[in-house]
Amino acid sequence: MYEQIASNKRRTFVVLFFFVVLIGLAGTAFNFVLGFGPQGVVVAVLIAISMSFFSYFYSDKVAIAASKAVPADEVQYKRFHNLVEGLCIASGLPKPRLYVVHDSAPNAFATGRNPDNAAIAVTTGLLEIMNRVELEGVIAHELSHIKNYDILVSTVAVTAVGAVTLLSDIGIRTAFWTGGGRSRNNNDSSGLGGLLAIVGIAFLVLAPFAAMLMNFAISRNREYLADVTGVSLTRYPPGLISALEKLEADKSIVRSSTKATASMWIEQPLPGKEGGGHEKWLDKKFNTHPPLQDRIKRLKEM
């Protein structure tokens, strides 16, 4: 178990390193294609810093609002509050803010920048179909995301994807409307300058897809880690296993989910959740979560 945790953490740091490299390459391509010089680099850096600042401090509020979650009343959702409080005592975590999403699809997510500024949201569908030990397993999984600082890693990943996408979008649109940026000012546009400009534009087109794939890789690794850590909190693997089996059997989707927030949920909340063994290779690469069958299998082998 501990080797699996260590392996997941190492892979996450590797992917984050490549995020930094990708942002640097995207900035370089952006500047070369448009020919802005040093001023272009400064503007790109300022935009990335602004996005990072906003994402770090307000990502939880944005996620809660985007999911249409409302505060969980302590009387109406007493079981939810009691389970969270008990697991927080066992794990040494402060109690996060609790929310409910009025949706019949069973799902849950955690968000925030650290354990002191975290929140957990569950759908009404999850509360309805899960018994006490299953709900405890799901909550332990979400608390594990908080305990392992997955919520911060996810914020960094989403910010990196946003920065790369923004640079690519601005670069491509500007190059299109101005006729090619740097290559426009090159007397030999058919020579090396024109070739490099084409390569730069091609990179800006492909960079957002590479960033999304790395974000999904982080999400998938972190789900395995949260499953293992969650079971160590409850000391009862059958609870989470049974919960994941119910989620696998349910094919409904969360109506308020978006592509930006999909990686936060305990299972993929969007259409095309899982296609079993016949799922296309490309679809698997763009899934935000590992197959539930794999997660269940790993827990049963513990």
Encode pLDDT of 179-206 as tens digits. 555 444 544 444 555 665 677 777 777 8
| Active-site option among 142, 223, 267, 274 | 142
In angstroms, the CA 288 to CA 31 distance is: 31
Q: How confident is the model at residue 159 (pLDDT cuts 50, 70, 90)?
A: low
Q: 190, 215, 240 — which closes off a domain?
A: 215
Token pair in block for residue 17: 């390193």
Are 133 and 222 members of one domain? yes
| Known catalytic membership, residue 223 | no
- Placement of tokens 């953490």 in the chain: 9
- The DSSP 8-state label assigned to residue 274 in this structure reads -
Rounded Cα gap, residues 213 and 219, in angstroms = 10
Query: CA dihedral in degrees (133, 137, 143, 148; nearest 10)?
Result: 150
Answer yes or no: is pLDDT of 233 > 70.
yes
Same domain, 74 and 44: no
Beta bridge partners of 69: 101
Same domain, 82 and 200: no
| Strand 97-101 to 69-71 pairing | antiparallel
Count how many domains the chain has: 2
> At residue 107, does pLDDT exceed 90?
yes
Which of the two residues, 167 and 226, has the higher pLDDT score?
226
Edge-first strand order for the sheet with 118-123 is 69-71, 97-101, 118-123, 108-112
Q: Looking at the structure, do residues 94 and 233 belong to the same domain, yes or no?
A: yes
Q: Are residues 97 and 163 in the same domain?
A: no
Residue 229, domain CATH = 3.30.2010.10
pLDDT for residue 98? 98
Query: Residue 121: left (phi > 0), alpha (psi -120 to 50), or beta?
Result: beta
DSSP helix, strand, coil percent of the chain (3-state; round to 5):
70, 5, 25
Residue 42's domain spans which residues? 2-63+151-215
- pLDDT more than 70, % of the chain: 68
Same domain, 192 and 239: no
Residue of 13 and 87 predicted with greater confidence: 87
